[in-house]
């Protein structure tokens, strides 16, 4: 084939690809989806690198999904003059992240640990968080370069959100009935949330305003045991957990760091049963005694106690702003900040 014809064919193919990508992006934007970032190991590692900032310039947050939704990072940074380093992970136990920071001799900063009892005091191995900790320690130069390319592209294109638009995600969303006796993957409502570059997660307005989606999500929480009154871990298992946390916290404090525990709001079915499964005296209060740390429990503060989570577990973006302001006020009472702007 003559060179001129090859060039024309290549240009035609390029035009087809560009038009297809633009059309694909436009379709999802038109359906109400917005840009967001994949909350993967690369994004977690990017934030993990920020933990070495001086105490008067940053606070690090670890925990489960509640602090990811409930901490409004723009409000935090505007009000405090500090960076918020978000290392929490949805559906996970934060203890591996705590141990990682405890063992890191270079970390001497401030750490807020969010407590969701069913996850924090869970005895099962934590796979997702361990993967992120390992990647943060061992990522190769090629992986780091790939992460940077991904960040740049995800900033521009909605359809690169793999939990929504990957082939596997879209096939799962077809909701094909399972064979009798076979349990398929749990499918979360579409447009449930999106993730910012700072790893804040935000409930979408579409989800919050849709009663069917809210019911869909609370049904999922019920499958996860939200309405269960079965007691949490106790005996030797609980003592091992407390000892692990105590050891990691002591290492951070010994280097001059600061640690505080926070119990973020829940409501509805979750809050009706969590105090039964995990009585405060046995878990949260004992955790504070074991570590010698202070805590901020949402039930102890009038400006935190009455938030309603639309799906029992996470605040809306508007309530996250108010909660963050209340959390900052509570931390001020604990002499958390040293920056004159506070």
Beta-bridge partner residues of 195: 201
- Cβ atoms 39, 201 nearer than 8 A: yes
How is the chain split among helix, strand and coil, in percent rounded to 5? 55, 10, 40
Helices 141-154 and 41-48: angle between axes, nearest 10 degrees = 100
- Rounded to whole angstroms, the Cα distance separating 245 from 242 reads 5
Spans in the chain with pLDDT lower than 70: 1-2, 17-18, 20-38, 145-185, 339-342
Residues 6+ away with beta carbon under 8 Å from 134: none
Going through the chain in order, the beta strands assigned E by DSSP cover 58-62, 83-86, 110-114, 193-195, 201-203, 258-263, 294-297
Nearest to 241 by CA among 291, 297, 295: 291
pLDDT tens sequence across 17-43 = 667 666 666 555 666 666 566 677 878
Q: In this predicted structure, what is the pLDDT of residue 335? A: 92
Q: In this predicted structure, what is the pLDDT of residue 342? A: 46
Q: In this predicted structure, what is the pLDDT of residue 300? A: 97
Quick one: tokens of 153? 């592209």
- CB atoms < 10 A from the CB of 109, how many? 24
Residue ranges of domains in the chain: 41-141+206-333
Q: In this predicted structure, what is the pLDDT of residue 278? A: 96
Residue 205, sorted as left (phi over 0), alpha (psi -120 to 50) or beta, turns out to be: alpha
Model pTM score: 0.83
CATH placement of domain 41-141+206-333? 3.40.50.1110
């Amino acid at each position: 084939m003559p060179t001129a014809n090859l060039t024309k064919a290549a240009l035609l193919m390029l035009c087809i690809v560009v038009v297809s990508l633009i059309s694909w992006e436009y379709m999802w934007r038109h359906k109400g989806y917005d840009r967001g970032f994949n909350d993967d190991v690369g994004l977690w590692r990017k934030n993990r690198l920020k933990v070495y900032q001086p105490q008067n310039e940053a606070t690090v947050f670890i925990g489960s999904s509640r602090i990811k939704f409930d901490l409004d990072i723009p409000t935090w940074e505007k009000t405090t003059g500090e960076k918020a380093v978000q290392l929490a992970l949805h559906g996970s136990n934060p203890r591996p992240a705590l141990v990682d920071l405890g063992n890191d001799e270079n970390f001497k900063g401030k750490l807020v640990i969010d407590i969701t009892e069913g996850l924090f005091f869970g005895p099962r191995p934590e796979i997702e968080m361990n993967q992120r900790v390992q990647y943060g320690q061992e990522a190769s130069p090629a992986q780091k370069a790939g992460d940077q390319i991904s960040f740049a592209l995800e900033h521009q294109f909605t359809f690169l959100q793999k939990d929504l638009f990957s082939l596997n995600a879209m096939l799962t969303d077809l909701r094909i009935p399972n064979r009798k006796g076979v349990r398929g993957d749990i499918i979360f409502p579409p447009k449930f949330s999106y993730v910012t570059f700072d790893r804040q997660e935000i409930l979408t307005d579409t989800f919050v305003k849709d009663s069917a989606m809210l019911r869909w999500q609370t049904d999922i929480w019920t499958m996860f045991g939200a309405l269960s009154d079965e007691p949490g871990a106790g005996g030797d298992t609980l003592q091992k957990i407390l000892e692990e946390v105590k050891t990691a916290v002591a290492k951070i404090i010994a280097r001059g760091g600061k640690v505080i525990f926070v119990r973020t709001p829940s409501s509805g079915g979750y809050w009706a049963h969590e105090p039964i499964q995990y009585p405060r005296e046995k878990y949260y209060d004992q955790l504070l005694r074991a570590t010698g740390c202070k805590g901020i429990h949402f039930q102890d503060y009038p400006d935190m106690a009455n938030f309603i989570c639309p799906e029992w577990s996470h605040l809306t973006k508007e309530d996250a702003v108010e909660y963050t302001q209340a959390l900052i006020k509570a931390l001020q009472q604990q002499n958390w900040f040293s920056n004159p702007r506070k």
